[in-house]
Structure 1
Amino acid sequence: MASTEEAVAAQPGWYEDPWRQAPLRWYDGTEWTATLSYQSGWYPDPWREAEKRWFDGRQWTGHKHDAAAPTSPSTSGRLAPLLESAPAIVVIDVETTGLSRADRIVEIAMITLDSQGTVVDEFTTMVNPHRDVGATWIHGLTATMLADAPSFSEIAAAVASRMDGAIIAAHNAPFDTRMLDAELSRSGIEVDWGRHLDTLTVTRHKLAVACGIHGVVLDDAHCALNDARATAELLVRVSADFTGPGRPTRTGVRAPSSVRTSTRAHGQSVHVTPPYLVELAGNSHPEPDVAPYSMLLAQALADLVLTEHERAELADLAAQFGLSPADVDRAHRGFLHDLLEAALDDGVITDEELDRLLRVAALLDLPPETVTARTNPYRFTEHELPLTAGLQVCFTGEVTDARGTSVDRDALHTLAAAAGLAPVESVTKKNCDLLVAADSSSLSGKAKAAHRYGTHIADADAFLTALERGAALTVRSMQPSGVACVCEQCGASWSAARRAKTCRTCRPGAKRVPAGV
């Protein structure tokens, strides 16, 4: 690249910007223009402190290097124990249209670190997937922003050449390498991934949480470059926690002479409020062995639909992560537990929150009691119920009176009838007004039915005392929650008064809504 001093006698072209506002400024053969080049990359250092300095598309950074610097691995430095024979670690982050191998990458960033943890190269670009861009609420990218970006095939060689011989690191590396492997395969590049370094496995937290714990600044998360930079710094901070070194990746691809990129400008993200479940799962802390799988559940369940294809993809992910059916069940239960912890953090559980949590349980093939056992204590309301004649009452559990004497079911029925009440044998929606239980927190079959129908519940000792005194009874009740259902055909979830196997749309004779309506 010609220097600024040569521009006076040169032909029109791009030259080093004498005002250092950007790497290059257009010289029209007579004078400097206002046209600047903001392409990210390594350029001659305007301050001459090194041969090259990195321009990130917005500004000059502190990352510098000299072409003559040795490329052989160093035996010292914080990352040296992780390098073994490799010259560098390449930290990757990808943003995608979805979770399956059929989905596409919409943005990639690669940060190359030497043994000291110093950044020696950065590569990033948005990628046109030539299909729907997927969840904008995750990556903040739109079709318009990606319209002029290169396709992955245009950058495949540049990506593969940076990986060749380096150790790959990422936060949830199995997912990033899976998506990248699919893209490279489409471009005819086969990869031996070696053994990667995964900061998620070490920290057990999502990137934003892990960064907060370890004092790493993460601005504008889910921008690939910002996430990769944060992961690179996080890697240095937690390097001593890895149990051993990585093994180099092999692609056999040499660097192309040039590559077209399209970088996201600073703050260039569309901010869309994420679905409720994604926000709720923000501070989840799964067990290390299931963490990569659990991290993806929130995205898969965000719309409260799990299609057959999505279930197959989750099963494929579990297999890739080496998870057994018991591990997957543990991951599902842990995920739901974390959702419940987050939902109950404010001490309130709304009907809408309960509905979503029950539908998540149904989608994960977990019993509804997994949710209701935790949420019921937050949903009860107490009030006084007069024991008027004709009140229909049912009994459950072994009842003892105030003196500790056991009272059998027949004796309870006799006492209730003598007070003008109407004893019944079961809890139904229309034929039971009150359930008397040995413990009103009971989860017996009758208690579950009472919760489902909103039937009043009272402790047995309080009931016997009220009968004896002829006083009103303190009872508990809650709004009925409905039954969470999952359609066997389309995978949609919904709540209904009774269980059903097919949603309205998929039932025979139902009118189909045209696509796009």
Structure 2
Amino acid sequence: STGRWFDSTPRSRVVPVKRSQYRAESAGHFLEKLATRLPEFSGTATEENYLAVLDLALMDRYVSAHEEAQLLQAATEIGLDKHQALRLHELYFQQLVATAWSDGVLTEDEIADLAKVIGLLGLPPQLIEVAKVAPVASEDHEPIREPQGNHQIDLGAMVVLTGDMTRPRSEIEAQLASAGFAPHRAITKKVALLVAADPDSLSGKAKKARDYCIPVVGEDYLWNTLLR
């Protein structure tokens, strides 16, 4: 099973995450901003592009306002309407479920994670009950791409922090170094990840990271994935 997004810090420590004003004004699921029906589209972009953007957006199990905009742009470039995007979301979820079941066991933490993904994808809540049923092996179905949710930050990768974290930055950087990553103070094209106290941050570092297509994640990603 993947299990990389699940809590590894003491369960009693729950720290509220600040969200930007822009996020507060963005009510409703981003799929509601897609047209219900669109005419046939024949461009060079593919569904793979959308799934790739979706995979990165869900790295930290939080879809920021910027990531919503990226997903809407990717859907528009492909010509996806709301129903087609939901179909891809369901495909993504099915592959994530298959990954969670890959060791033959679905843990309570994995169930909670999948339930959260359902909400982020705008899928029916009852899908979690379907996910709890062990899949039957079949050779008849070929997925559109490899199982999702496996985006990794390799050891030795450069990681930058921005904003006021729940622990001193020097302490976090020391932990990152001990875990095999390379803490860095500035955004360059060689940086693999920006960890922001606010994933919706409009700071200079966040803007530059997005310009370089560097993933921007929240602090929870540190404790649930990199430093778990």
TM-score range normalised by the length of the shorter chain: 0.3 to 0.5
More strand by share: 1
Instruction: Find the structure with the greater CA-based Rg.
Output: 1
**When you count helix as a share of all residues, which structure comes out higher?**
2
Larger RCO, structures 1/2 (Cα 8 Å, 6+ apart): 2
